[in-house]
Structure 1
Amino acid sequence: MAEKQEEPSNTQNGEADNAEEGEEKKKKKVKREDLPPFEIVTGERLPAIFFKFQFRNVEYSSGRNKTFLCYVLETQGKESATSRGYLEDEHAAAHAEMAFFSSILPRCEPGLRYQVTWYVSSSPCVACADRIAETLRRSSSLRLSILVGRLFMWEEPEVRAALQRLRAAGCKLRIMKPQDFEYVWQHFVEPEEGEEAKAFVPWEDIQENFNYYEEKLAEILQ
């Protein structure tokens, strides 16, 4: 007669389960800690579908919780040079404007002069506007022009004040015209599959929305 194998007790089962659960939690914790708190996406050209949705200059930007920043960095001096690229974020932590100063600007050589142009899906928030203004005040060798598709929360007094401080610091701020959207399409957007030379097709209300935002920005900066 074979001996009956002793079943582990409930206590032993519970201890094993708790140990496994604790180990699993520890692994998950380590994985979370190893990951950066926020990732900024960078590249030379962004997908056309992102451009068509995120850059559209609609009055109500529902669902557009990212900032896309396309930049042209021109080095001015004996050996002039131009570089381009884009940064993408989500409105959760570091924004694309902040990422430019932490990842792109440090590559610039001290002593040279730089002209930077941003084409941004929406205008900066208060924190970003103040960071930009502070950077411009500290760096006499940097000139910045920002062209925005939409105004972010422009009705809020603190946002309006931040944009005013931005201009006072020497930043040139204006709304993107239809021609500017076409420029971004040509220089910063990946060709759609099978349509390498497809021309930019303006959306129906692009001029009307430009006029709307241009008027609002003029009111803010007057």
Structure 2
Amino acid sequence: MNPLQEETFYQQFSNQRVPKPTYQRRTYLCYQLKPHEGSVIAKVCLQNQEKRHAEICFIDDIKSRQLDPSQKFEITCYVTWSPCPTCAKKLIAFVNDHPHISLRLFASRLYFHWRQKYKRELRHLQESEISLAVMSYLEFKDCWEKFVDHKGRPFQPWNKLKQYSESIGRRLQRISVEVGLLSKREIGIFPQKKKNEYKERPFYSTAPRKKCI
């Protein structure tokens, strides 16, 4: 495994607002693979490539391992941004095609969480066999210890980590409820609400990501 540098971890995984001068936050994905009953067999750090998102690199990497379908495996992923709609669909399809793999996905931040298309796919992830949650102090600390070249230094939480984590977690819960209500209105169960009633303002600075292929 090529571990993350300390500066990279703090810049890319931080759930704070982007400070000035701003820098581009990329998608980093760190995963741990282990049998259901057994020790860790792989720890890998991935990031977006020119035409491939980190989630697609992750799927390809797992497929290349040709895991025994008769054996249960558990994968824990720590990712800087929640998946885009295309990657979310591919992750769901991957898990559905590999029922012997259990996937837990922890995101530091929600990507374009105010856009309806992105909200919908986050809801689909929650409804799938994938366990989706927002990273808390425990996940940040675990990610630091397992995937960062920290040279024995302990994880130092940044200011208001807990508050930001709880805020993002509540936002994810609201998305689940909101998208469910919107789906019901689409089929006529509820009357239509006024335009933009459910629109949220962006909370984090984001950089456009290239479309998945």
- TM-score interval, normalised by the smaller of the two chains: 0.7 to 0.9
- 1:57-77 per-residue CA deviation (whole Å, 9 max, x = no partner) reads 024595334211111111136
Residues 107-126 of structure 1: matches in 2 within 5 Å? 107=65, 108-126=67-85
Aligned to 1:218: 173
Residue-pair matches, total? 173
SS for the counterpart of 1:46 is: coil
- 1:67-88 per-residue CA deviation (whole Å, 9 max, x = no partner) reads 11111111136xx341212112
- 1:137-164 per-residue CA deviation (whole Å, 9 max, x = no partner) reads 2221111110010001111100011111
Note if 1:144 corresponds to 2:79.
no
Whole-angstrom distance in 1 between the partners of 2:130 and 2:105: 7
Match of 1:101 among 50, 59, 73: 59
Q: If the length of structure 2 is used for normalisation, what is the TM-score?
A: 0.75
Whole-angstrom distance in 1 between the partners of 2:104 and 2:172: 15
Whole-angstrom distance in 1 between the partners of 2:72 and 2:59: 15
Listed as ranges, the gaps of 5+ residues in structure 2 are: 178-213
- 1:136-195 per-residue CA deviation (whole Å, 9 max, x = no partner) reads 22221111110010001111100011111112221111100012111111111002xxxx
Contact 1:134-1:169 at 8 Å conserved across structures: no
Q: CA RMSD in A?
A: 1.7
Match of 1:199 among 154, 161, 170: 154
- 1:101-143 per-residue CA deviation (whole Å, 9 max, x = no partner) reads 1123330233221111101111011110000011122221111
Whole-angstrom distance in 2 between the partners of 1:221 and 1:49: 33
Higher RCO (CA 8 Å, separation ≥ 6 residues): 2
Match of 1:68 among 28, 32, 46: 28
Q: Which has the larger radius of gyration?
A: 1
- 1:27-75 per-residue CA deviation (whole Å, 9 max, x = no partner) reads xxxxxxxxxxxxxxxx341111100100000245953342111111111
SS for the counterpart of 1:119 is: strand
Q: Which has the higher strand share?
A: 1
Aligned to 1:3: none
